[in-house]
Amino acid sequence: MSKASRISETPATALLKSRGVVFSEHPYEYLEHGGALHSAEVLGLDPFAVVKTLVMQDDKAAPLLVLMHGNRSVSTKNLARQIGAKSVEPCKPEVANRHSGYLVGGTSPFGTRREMPVYVQRTVLELPRIWLNGGRRGYLIGIEPRVLTDILGARPVDCALPL
């Protein structure tokens, strides 16, 4: 039995497979509020290459996704300025779940319930490989960063801050 057949498909992995994207699968023991730093640690990955998917909203309550290094935070002020919004803030968890169709802690930018603009920290695209959520808590997938722009149309931004 192959590793892929042991992990049930998610909307994210179904979308990637339908587009012919090759990805690796990395299940791990999920820790509530552990985030990208926890997954990087247990999987032996560089937290800079583990990308978190954040559901945010602009001043008009329009949702958007931000893809950020696991060991960085988002300058919402810089992000708002770059996307032409008055302000940007994280969505409340229940709102994020409703927009994405995923539970917070298991949000993938692929296969979301609602189509949203996707912004990616520019330096993420410079990495040779990244790991991000595959659509379930405790489950990362490894992909080439160009998939973010090719499939999602992710727009590069510079809004990283140290944690």
Q: What confidence tier does 86 reach under pLDDT thresholds 50, 70, 90?
A: very high
Q: What confidence tens digit (pLDDT) does each residue in 5-36 have?
A: 456 899 999 999 999 999 999 999 999 999 99
User: Quick one: which of 158, 159, 157, 141 has its CA closest to 45?
Assistant: 141
- Calculate mean pLDDT across residues 36-65: 98
Decide if pLDDT at 119 tops 50. Answer: yes
Mean pLDDT of the chain: 95
b/e 3-33 (16+ beta carbons within 10 angstroms → b): eeeebebbbbbebbeeeebebeebebeeeee
- 138, 28 in Cβ contact below 8 A? yes
How far is CA 123 from its chain centroid?
14
DSSP 152: H
- Calculate mean pLDDT across residues 138-158: 98
- Calculate mean pLDDT across residues 102-127: 97
What is the pTM (predicted TM-score) of this model?
0.94
CATH of domain 3-162: 3.90.960.10
Decide if pLDDT at 4 tops 80. Answer: no
According to the model, what pLDDT value does residue 2 have?
38
The residue ranges of every structural domain in the chain are 3-162
The tokens 């339908």 sit on which residue?
18
DSSP 128: S
Decide if pLDDT at 69 tops 70. Answer: yes
According to the model, what pLDDT value does residue 8 have?
81
- 88, 79 in Cβ contact below 8 A? yes
DSSP 131-147: EEEEEETTEEEEE-THH
